[in-house]
């Protein structure tokens, strides 16, 4: 049975490398948490606060991160295949090398996010997104799947 951490205060908690497949972390406060290399496949992170969390190389494939606060989070090399990030706040987040293939970024705040070498192929659940939609974002010249 998946873990249930919904609504809990987990600030600064160390979940690095842990298996959290299908875990319920909706509404949890994970500010500054260490989720480096954690397996969060299919996890429910709706409305979670992941401000400044370390999600380096985390597996978030199929995870629901709708309306999550990921501002300042480090998602370097994270697997976000088919993740739902609709309405998420990714202001100043590091998504370098992240795989966002078929991710849903509808209405997400992508301001000043770093997408260096990220894969955005078939993301957004709509035909492409332009560089103009990503105010202040960096690394866009290296992104796959972004239209001009």
Look at the chain and report how many structural domains it folds into.
1
Q: Name the band, by pLDDT with cuts 50, 70 and 90, for residue 132.
A: very low
The residue behind tokens 């001009």 is 148
Q: In the predicted model, is pLDDT for residue 78 greater than 50? A: yes
Q: In the predicted model, is pLDDT for residue 5 greater than 90? A: yes
Of 33-37, 81-85, 123-127, give the lowest mean pLDDT range.
123-127
Which of these, 74, 86, 83, lies nearest to 47 by C-alpha position? 86
What's CA 38's distance to the chain center, in Å?
A: 13
Q: Tell me if 91 sits within 8 A of 68, measured CB to CB.
A: no
Query: What CATH number should be reported for the domain holding residue 42?
Result: 2.160.20.80
Mean pLDDT for the chain overall: 88
d(CA 71, CA 65): 13
Tokens linked to 62: 């199929």
pTM of this structure: 0.88
- Output 143 or 60, whichever has higher pLDDT: 60
pLDDT at 106 (0 to 100): 84
End-to-end CA distance of the chain: 45
pLDDT at 107 (0 to 100): 83
Range of the domain at 37: 1-148
Which of these, 147, 99, 100, 103, lies nearest to 127 by C-alpha position? 147
The residue behind tokens 């993740």 is 83
Could you report the per-residue pLDDT of 55-69, keeping only the tens digit for each?
999 999 999 999 999
Residues 6+ apart with CB under 8 A from 1: none
Could you report the per-residue pLDDT of 87-127, keeping only the tens digit for each?
999 999 999 999 998 899 888 888 888 888 888 877 765 54
Tokens linked to 28: 């949890």
pLDDT at 115 (0 to 100): 86
Q: In the predicted model, is pLDDT for residue 145 greater than 70? A: no
Q: In the predicted model, is pLDDT for residue 74 greater than 80? A: yes
Report CA-CA distances (Å) from 2 to 10, 24, 25, 43, 117.
17, 7, 10, 9, 33
Residues 6+ apart with CB under 8 A from 12: 31, 32, 33, 34
């Amino acid at each position: 049975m998946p873990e249930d951490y919904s609504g809990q205060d987990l600030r600064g908690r160390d979940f690095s490398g842990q298996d959290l497949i299908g875990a319920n972390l909706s509404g949890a406060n994970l500010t500054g948490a260490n989720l480096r290399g954690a397996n969060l496949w299919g996890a429910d992170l709706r409305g979670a606060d992941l401000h400044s969390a370390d999600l380096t190389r985390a597996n978030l494939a199929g995870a629901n991160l709708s309306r999550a606060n990921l501002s300042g989070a480090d998602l370097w090399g994270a697997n976000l295949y088919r993740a739902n990030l609709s309405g998420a706040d990714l202001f100043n987040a590091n998504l370098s090398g992240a795989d966002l293939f078929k991710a849903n970024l509808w209405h997400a705040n992508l301001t000043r996010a770093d997408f260096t070498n990220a894969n955005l192929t078939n993301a957004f659940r709509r035909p492409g997104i332009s560089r103009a939609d990503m105010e202040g974002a960096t690394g866009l010249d290296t992104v796959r799947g972004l239209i001009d």
